[in-house]
Amino acid sequence: MKAIIHRTNIENIMRVNVAEALPLDCPLRRGKHVGVALIPDDFRAQYRTAQQIRQDGAIGNLFDGVEISVHGLSTRLLAWPATGYQTESVHVTTLSPGDESEPYAYDLAEEAVLCRHGSVDVWLRGGWITLRAGDMAYFPEGVERRWRMPAEATGQAILVNQICPPQFDLYAASGLYNAAFGVIDEAAAAKAIVNAVPVAPPGELDEMEYRDDQPEARAQNLAPDDVRRQGALFNVLEGAAFTGIGLPMRLVMWPGAGTRMVGFNYAYCGVGVQDTIHRHPVSDEFLVMWSGSGQLYVQGLGWVDAEANDVAMAPCGVMHGHRSTPDRGPAMMGGFASPPQLDLMIPTDYYSDGRFTHPAETPLTSAEEKASDLR
């Protein structure tokens, strides 16, 4: 099967035979990940131009992406300016025992980091904090951080990083950003994207669980102004309750909790349930199916069968949503969006006349999830 890849601002159209481009032992061949939903090549972000994604969206996966080194760690680029994203970048960082990053800080960008698998130590609020699956760390602009995985640890740690706005200079050393002209090198980026070989997940991923340990660093125990100055530790299952799109959800990272440009929401899509298909006027969103199965809706593609780790890539203005069907579901869903989706918050009691309140943060419970199931 031939997949014709069109990239804007490239003189020659690249023609790639997808089956031949991937090695025989690769977990992705002929447009699907082994053991997960079949997704046609022309729906996948790897084979869509930045313009196509910007206009109509795409389907991605947490184990896709161009691999580069960022701050000394192996990093895959999923959502970034070369894939049509303007307000945020989303990367996946993998650490093995003994890995340690360089110390770094961004004077312009905020960063949110979700631990998807394993455990890792991070320098936060003046000390070492341990993140486990489901924990998140928030770093305001100017706050230094570094990451490490002890040499005696086992397995890998997988982190999902949201950087707002994108830090273009991270791509320069790999030849993907032209600093002299201040632009993404579109030809180099297009070649790297279409030739990127997906990686296999490290077996069954850890369940993302609720935790309230290390209370001195937890956002729910801190004032938003303190979180805004020094950063904090969050958890995907705790935040401000929200049901505005028809699902039990938590606003985890948002201005009411102390963040500014990074945003993250987490929701349960119950059996037989569909959320309200929607779009955001100014927020680029990277909506992940963290566990379970279901269907993702993306404006230019319609409904697509999806499994854990698949992603609806929906830049601002692109309609998107998700649902569980009789044979697919339920699922845990969660999206990175920047700026945080003001359109969702305006109708709530958490916002008035340009100001946010700080409502009580509560865990998303299994009883709350089950109550939303339709069968």
Q: What is the pLDDT of residue 161?
A: 98
Domain count, the chain: 1
pTM for this predicted structure: 0.90
CA distance 88 to 319: 18
- Residue 315's domain comprises 230-371
Backbone angles phi, psi at 221, to 5 degrees: -100, 5
Q: Within a domain: residue 146?
A: no
Q: Quote the CA–CA distance of 228 and 222 in Å, as a whole number.
A: 10
The verdict on residue 313 lying in a domain is: yes
- Please give the pLDDT value at position 302: 96
Running DSSP on this structure, what letter comes out for residue 171? Answer: G
DSSP state of 134: T
3-state secondary structure of 186: helix
User: What pLDDT score was predicted for residue 271?
Assistant: 86
Q: Among 242, 163, 252, 224, which Cα is nearest to 355's?
A: 224
Average pLDDT, rounded, for the chain:
90
Asked, for residue 29, whether it belongs to a domain, the answer is no
> Is 83 a member of any domain?
no
Is 350 inside a domain boundary? Answer: yes
CA distance 21 to 292: 30
- Transcribe 215-254 into DSSP letters: GGGBGGGS-HHHHHHH-EEEETTEEEEE-TTSS-EEEEES
Nearest in space to 65 (alpha carbons), one of 89, 39, 88: 89
CA-angle at 72, arms to 66 and 75, nearest 5°: 25
Residues in the chain with pLDDT < 70? 1-37, 375
Does residue 7 fall inside a structural domain? no
Is 15 inside a domain boundary?
A: no
**Residue 266 lies inside a defined structural domain of this protein:** yes
Residue reference for tokens 């340009």: 354
Concatenating the DSSP letter of every residue in 119-133 gives EEEEEETTEEEEEET
CATH classification at residue 322: 2.60.120.10
